[in-house]
Structure 1
Amino acid sequence: MGLQTATAVLNDVQVHYCTNGCGPAVVFVHGLAEDHGSWRHQQQEFADHRTYAYDLRGHGNSTLGEAEGSLGQLRDDLVAFLSEVSGPAVCVGFSLGGTVVLSAAAQRPDLVTGVVVLGTSSVVGRTAAEFYLRRAEQATDPGEVLESLREDTSAMVTDSTVDIAELVAKRGEAIGDGRGYANAATAMAGLRGNPLTPELAAINCPVTVIGGENDAFCPRKAADILLDALPHATYREIPNAGHLMNVDNRHAVTTALRHALTDR
């Protein structure tokens, strides 16, 4: 049957998503300046699961709605997706998406049956918060946002064979007019004053934390904070990969995800 796309009205947003396969449900949540397409390879590989990958509000083909710039709102969007579209599922999130998944798992253990997070933080420091707020300010200026995407993308990739221009173009298309990007960046900046870390103790389902060997944006320290706070967590590392590990070493990411989905 292959990949299929659909839309659903959830909260105040028309959410675009892609489905594939049959079997246990898995919901993929992308990172900042991405869309559901960043998980296309995994959706094709995991046809023995019923996979869903949706566009966060204001990203890809999902509408923005009344954006609040908060992690809580992005979490509630995922909860609505699990409640009304996929049903209870293992949730896989990258970076921003991982933070959203952890928040949902702490809030709704009945809907999140397992967690896999890649390149994810539960708290950010002053420098990171300033970075996110600066990106939010630049988001609606087409010239500035593309320049910042070029700068950030180059720093997030370690594989010299990756076509950075092509990747930046995809990321630029994913954020559209930039308002959803600004909304999500503001939500991440909020982790400085309101970290998610204290809520992690409430997550009792299995959690796999995955880090990139050369990830400067979300280094091993961020993973250690998660591992210390989560009751049932294991760690896997993707070799030869920066923050965009699914670009740098997609095969290793797929293998790590396969282990995480089967070793439960």
Structure 2
Amino acid sequence: MSKQSCLKNRKFREIKMLNCEEASAESFSGKVSVAKVGDIDIAYRCVGSGEPVVLVHGIAEDGTSWSGIADRLANEGFRSIAIDWRGHGRTTVGQPQGTVEQLADDLLQFLELISGAAVCVGFSLGGVIVLEAALKRPDLVRKGIIAGASSKVGRAAAKFFAERIAQLETDPEMFGETLGEDTKAQIAHNKAAADDVTQSRLKAVGNGAGYVNAAKAMIALSAAPMTDRLREMVAPIHIVQGANDVFCPTKAADMLREAMPQAGYAEIPQAGHLMAVDQPEMFAEAILAELEKQSKSENAK
């Protein structure tokens, strides 16, 4: 690569980081920014300064689900960037394809245009999105921290999502009640938070178009699991699992570890699927440990 090209790339990196710095606030509840990314307008929140960490939420959530985690990471010297992905929260749905590939492409375009290369933390379907993005562009996903995710969707889970799609499209009020029950089942320890979390999730779902798109992406993993492709992973990966997760149980993490034997692993005790609700402090500590390890590794090169 020529010296002129290097200077051009460095300048582009500086412009991208400036965009996020301008959007940063003193706390995660501050300013929401919007960026045109492909066919959608992605809403995102930035807090802190330092190396970027992009937080990718799960289905029926938005970036606000990372609030406590984001502030903790910012306090430790990282720039937390939480996106609302396609059709969730304040992000438009665009032309949804119902695939993990499209959702991963959305993330990669965000990394290219806004944050620059970053450690990406993905929860549930967000973890699957990060894995797909890391397979495609390990130069942009510096490290993937994957929490409560699975590379394969079984028949029971596929049926679960198909039923939720049908309910959302025919009886939204009943879907709200069902999401409330799902949320309670995904919390193992902090049961008192269930009602508030349900209301936040319903707000993130909005008119349901993004949820339907994401649920279709999950169902597609039943017919075409990504497990075998993970054997080709070159980006560093760390897996975080809730010890009491019944929605994405430990066997899902075991499958990821078998496909990626080089990946790290941490288990959060007394945590169900919604580990950021059950054990936010321990979840944040698990993320921070990997961020610090990645920084040391990169500085040593």
- Mark yes or no: TM-score above 0.5: yes
Per the TM alignment, residue 160 of structure 1 is displaced from its structure 2 partner at its CA by 5.0
Aligned 8 A contact 2:184 2:191 in 1: no
Based on CA coordinates, which of the two structures has the bigger radius of gyration? 2
2:253 aligned partner: 223
| Percent of aligned pairs sharing the same letter | 44
| Greater displacement, 230-239 / 217-226 | 230-239
Cα pair distance change 1:205/1:231, threshold 3 Å? farther
Shift of 1:231: 4.6
> Is the 2:193–2:277 contact (alpha carbons within 8 Å) kept by the matching residues of 1?
no
1:134 and 2:160 are equivalent in the alignment: no
1:162 CA drift (Å): 2.0
CA displacement at 1:136 relative to structure 2: 1.6
What is the match of residue 17 of structure 1?
Answer: 44
Instruction: Measure the CA separation in 1 of the matches of 2:36 and 2:225.
Output: 29
The structure 1 residue matched to 2:142, chosen from 93, 108, 113, is: 113
Distance in 2 (CA, whole Å) between partners of 1:42 and 1:159 is 18
State the distance in 2 between where 1:173 and 1:78 align: 22
Asked whether the 8 Å contact 1:213–1:240 carries over to 2, the reply is yes
Q: CA RMSD in A?
A: 1.2
Gapped regions of structure 1 (runs ≥ 5): none
Instruction: Return closer, same or farther for 1:160/1:257 CA change in 2, 3 Å cut-off.
Output: closer
| 1:136–1:183 contact (8 Å) kept in structure 2 | no
Residue 195 of structure 1 and its aligned partner are, at CA, apart by: 0.7
Distance 1:90 1:115 in 2: 6
Question: Does 2:109 match 1:80?
Answer: yes
CA deviation profile, 1:33-65 (whole Å, cap 9, x unmatched): 100001111211112112211001110000000
State the partner residue of 2:265. Answer: 235
SS, match of residue 54 in structure 2: strand
Please give the secondary structure, in 1, of the residue aligned with 2:244.
coil
**Unpaired runs of 5+ in structure 2?**
1-24, 295-301
Match of 1:43 in 2: 70
> Number of matched residues?
264
After alignment, is 243-252 or 202-211 more displaced? Answer: 202-211
Distance 1:110 1:164 in 2: 38
Task: Confirm or deny that 1:213 pairs with 2:243.
Answer: yes
Query: Given the two structures, how large is their TM-score scaled by the length of structure 1?
Result: 0.97
Equivalent residue of 1:218, what SS?
coil
**Residue identity in the other structure for 1:209:** I
Asked whether 1:145 is paired with 2:172, we answer no
2:124: which partner in 1? 95
- After TM superposition, give the deviation of residue 12 of structure 1 in Å: 0.5
User: 3-state DSSP class of the match of 1:105?
Assistant: helix
Which deviations, in whole Å up to 9, do the C-alpha atoms of 1:56-105 show, x marking residues without a partner?
11100000001111111111100111111111011000001000000000
By how many angstroms is 1:259 displaced?
Answer: 0.8
TM-score by length of 2: 0.85
The question of whether the paired residues in 2 share the 8 Å contact of 1:203 and 1:231 is answered with no
| 2:264 alignment partner, SS class | strand
**Structure (1/2) with the larger helix percentage:** 2
Matches of 1:144 and 1:6, distance apart in 2: 33
